[in-house]
């Protein structure tokens, strides 16, 4: 985990206060990286063989995830100002798109009856997340905390144990 | 291991002296991260299968461990001042709680006769550590070195080859 | 992935503009490290046993790859000035040479009929890349962007699904 | 590999000149870390089971290796001044001692006829290295480059394919 917090100079709790926004964005990014790590683990567990396109799609995903520490720090150090918040959303969106591409490439190489297919399901959550990011980004012009609220809501969505919820929503 | 020591500018031993508290906290944190790495390795070795809650509990543990370099640096750079020492203890406590949660989730999915159950035992040490952290934190208001002493004592506790000691203590 | 981007101080898009050259060199290096990671994975997958010389050759490759973040940052922060661009090419060249040495050592220990031999093929691309770096480096004295163009072209060359192209070129 | 080189501000070769000592110490440390990584890999490959003391001995080794980037940077930034050069030797010595302890603990748990025993041999090189470090450290008071020469010589010693040399020396 490459996210980093700079050590403050003071020795009291007040010294931690300016770090609060950085810490908050750190927590959010930790959760997002955790979600990707978690799902990525599940995904690759169900994969039987890895080929060229898969590795490129995987690298593409890693590229966007590698930008998360950068946008996290930028957003936190600017107290969730509009533009950094939008850029944060953009990186989340691109990581989501990259994950979706990786999933599709993997599905194409595995049959419809494969374990992988059952493990991924309809990717309802994935698509909902992409839409949420697209909605959240322009809303930062109204107020950045609306975007932040949506980013947190999407993260929460992935925490809920879902199979059942998903099937209800699809009916 | 992400703990870091900044290179001093001088070229004599005196240049190292201001680094001494940072180095001391580095050693303590190295030992703690080592203990977690060690036990974590043993724990996951005995696990037969990993599921969703396990990964979340694991991520929760990693979150608190990821804060150790931050509190280590803060504590060392402030010569073990009261508040950083308490925050250090708080992170140790939360990591301990996270480890305990991970252990319980793993035990719930494995029977009482499993290898895992025998590997973990009664978790006497784990609980004792949590109590020690809770006692150590407020004692920093008396003197931070009392807290530090307890943190070192807990670390030492995990070094001792224990099964026998544990069973004696429980009798 | 150890490439790093420093967080800017401003909170608008203008704050990102000075980072553009750094970002561009970051992307190029990410692609190169990705190519090596990708091919390295394929290479070691086909290897049956690892011996001393192999590990030294591997370490030699890692040494040059470990310098990529340094030359990337240097090149990006100096807006692709001549000398950093040449040094960047030198590191790419040496990494290419190291990869070629690793490949040859592996081939010597595996027969001509081995999976490894088929996996590597004639290493036409590898040799073409080395020649391209050698051509690109002095051309930085004409204009650094000529060198950069060649570096990007070599990276693109490794993206193309190749077996067929290769065999056509060899005819 | 956590060794790091700071990006210089200039854009010509002269900007690299002050980095030369840092680079030289980087190369030396890279080789040392490589040797440990190499031998460690061979060592653990021959091990059949890992127990508590082994993991502690391993952690002890990692502790000293984790200090190498620090002493490397300190030594390089002070142009190989006496005290940093001695500290560098001290860390090499302690890493060597830690490796020796790890080896002995592993040997105690495996019989004399084990693969491990044959893989390690008489550890002539290991002991010679320890003596060399002990000789090199005080010689820094004569001139630091004498110590540096010995550090390089020890590194070179580990490069040579050795079984035969060793047995000749032992006769």
The CA distance from C70 to the nearest CA of chain D, in Å, is 6
Compare CB distances from D83 to B3, B11, B161 and report the shortest one's residue: B11
Phi/psi at D48 (5° precision): -90, -40
Q: What is the mean pLDDT of residues D127-140?
A: 95
Q: Spell out, as residue ranges, where chain A has pLDDT lower than 50.
A: 1, 164-166, 169, 171
Mean pLDDT for the stretch of residues C58-81: 88
B31 to each of A65, B95, D46, how far by Cα in Å? 30, 14, 27
Whether B153 and B128 have beta carbons less than 8 Å apart is answered as no
State which residue of chain A sits closest to B68, comparing Cα positions. A5
Q: Which of B52, B82, B87 sits opposite A161 (nearest CB)?
A: B52
Chain A residues with CB inside 8 Å of B83's CB? 11-13
| Counts for chain B of helices (H) and strands (E), in that order | 8, 0
Min Cα distance B59 → chain A (Å) is 7
The stretch D114-134 carries a mean pLDDT of 78
Whether residue C77 and residue D161 make contact (CB cut-off 8 A), yes or no, is no
Greater confidence (C142 vs D16) lies with: C142
Spatial separation of the C-alpha atoms in residues D27 and B77, rounded to whole Å: 30
What secondary structure, in 3-state letters, does chain A show?
CCCCCCCCCCCCHHHHHHHHHHHHHHHHHHHHHHHHHHHHHHHHHHCCCCCHHHHHHHHHHHHHHHCHHHHHHHHHHCCCCHHHHHHHHHHHHHHHHHHHHHHHHHHHHCCCCCHHHHHHCCCHHHHHHHHHHHHHHHHCCCCHHHHHHHHHHHHHHHHCCCHHHHHHHHC
Structural domain span for residue B23: 17-160
Which chain B residues are closer than 8 Å to A161 by Cβ?
52
Cross-chain Cβ contact D7/C74 below 8 Å:
yes
CA distance A16 to chain B (A): 10
pLDDT for res B166? 46
Question: Average pLDDT for residues C14-27, to the nearest whole number?
Answer: 85
Task: Kindly determine whether residue C77 and residue D5, on different chains, have CB atoms separated by under 8 Å.
Answer: no
Which residue on chain D is closest to C63 by alpha carbon?
D30
Query: Which residues, including other chains, have CB under 8 Å from residue A129's CB and lie 6 or more apart?
Result: A96, A154, A157, A158
Q: Is residue B1 part of a domain?
A: no
What is the tens place of the pLDDT at every residue in C26-46? 899 998 988 888 888 777 766
In a domain, B4, yes or no: no
In this prediction, residues C107-114 reach a mean pLDDT of: 71
- C/D interface, count of CB pairs below 8 Å: 36
Residues of chain A found within 8 Å of residue B81, distances taken between Cβ atoms: 11-12
pLDDT digits (tens, 9 = 90+) for B55-93: 888 889 999 998 888 888 888 888 888 999 999 999 999
Residue C4 lies in a domain: no
pTM strictly above 0.90: no
Chain D residue numbers touching C78 (CB-CB < 8 A): 10-11
- B133: pLDDT strictly greater than 80: yes
pLDDT at D83: 92
Cβ B71 vs Cβ B19: under 8 Å: no
Does the beta-carbon distance from C62 to D38 stay under 8 Å?
no
Contact A37 B59 (CB under 8 A): yes
Q: How far is D52 from chain B (nearest CA, A)?
A: 8
Q: Are the C-beta atoms of C109 and C151 separated by less than 8 Å?
A: no
Nearest CA in chain D to B38: D55
Rounded to whole angstroms, how far apart are CA atoms B117 and B104? 10
Share above pLDDT 90 across residues of chain B, in percent, rounded to a whole number: 32
Task: For residue C13, tell me if it sits in a domain.
Answer: no
Looking at chain C, the whole-number percentage of residues with pLDDT higher than 70 is 80
Tell me if C59 and D34 make a contact (CB, 8 A cut-off): yes
B40: nearest CA in chain D? D55
* Separation CA D126–CA A90 (nearest Å): 53
B6 within a domain of the structure (yes/no): no
Q: Name the domain count of chain C.
A: 1
Strongest mean pLDDT among B41-50, C61-70, D153-162: C61-70
- Considering the domain boundaries, does residue B47 fall inside one? yes
Q: Which pLDDT does position B139 carry in this prediction?
A: 95
Give the ipTM of the model, two decimals please. Answer: 0.78
Residue C14 inside a domain? The answer is: no
**Does a structural domain hold residue A151?**
yes
The closest CB to that of A5, out of B62, B70, B81, belongs to: B70
Q: What is the pLDDT of residue A92?
A: 96
CB pairs under 8 A between B and D: 36
Average pLDDT of chain C?
A: 82
| Distance between CA atoms of residues A74 and C11, nearest Å | 8
Contacts of B78 in chain A (CB under 8 A): 10-11
Cα separation values, D121 from C39, C45, D30, D101, Å: 35, 30, 25, 15
Residue of D nearest to B3 (CA): D66
């Amino acid at each position: 985990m490459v996210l980093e917090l700079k050590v403050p100079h003071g020795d009291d709790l007040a010294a931690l206060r300016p770090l609060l926004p950085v810490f908050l964005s750190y927590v959010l990014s930790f959760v997002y990286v955790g979600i990707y790590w978690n799902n990525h683990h599940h995904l690759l567990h169900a994969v039987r063989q890895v080929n060229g396109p898969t590795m490129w799609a995987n690298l593409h995903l890693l590229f966007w995830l590698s930008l998360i520490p950068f946008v996290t720090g930028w957003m936190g150090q600017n107290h969730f100002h509009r533009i950094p918040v939008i850029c944060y959303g953009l990186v989340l969106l691109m990581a989501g798109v990259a994950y979706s591409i990786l999933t599709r490439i993997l599905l194409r190489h595995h049959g419809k009856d494969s374990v992988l297919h059952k493990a991924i399901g309809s990717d309802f959550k994935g698509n909902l997340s992409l839409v949420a990011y697209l909605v959240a980004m322009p809303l930062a012009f109204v107020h950045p905390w609306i975007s932040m609220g949506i980013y947190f809501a999407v993260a929460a969505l992935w925490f809920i144990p879902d199979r059942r919820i998903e099937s209800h929503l699809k009916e």
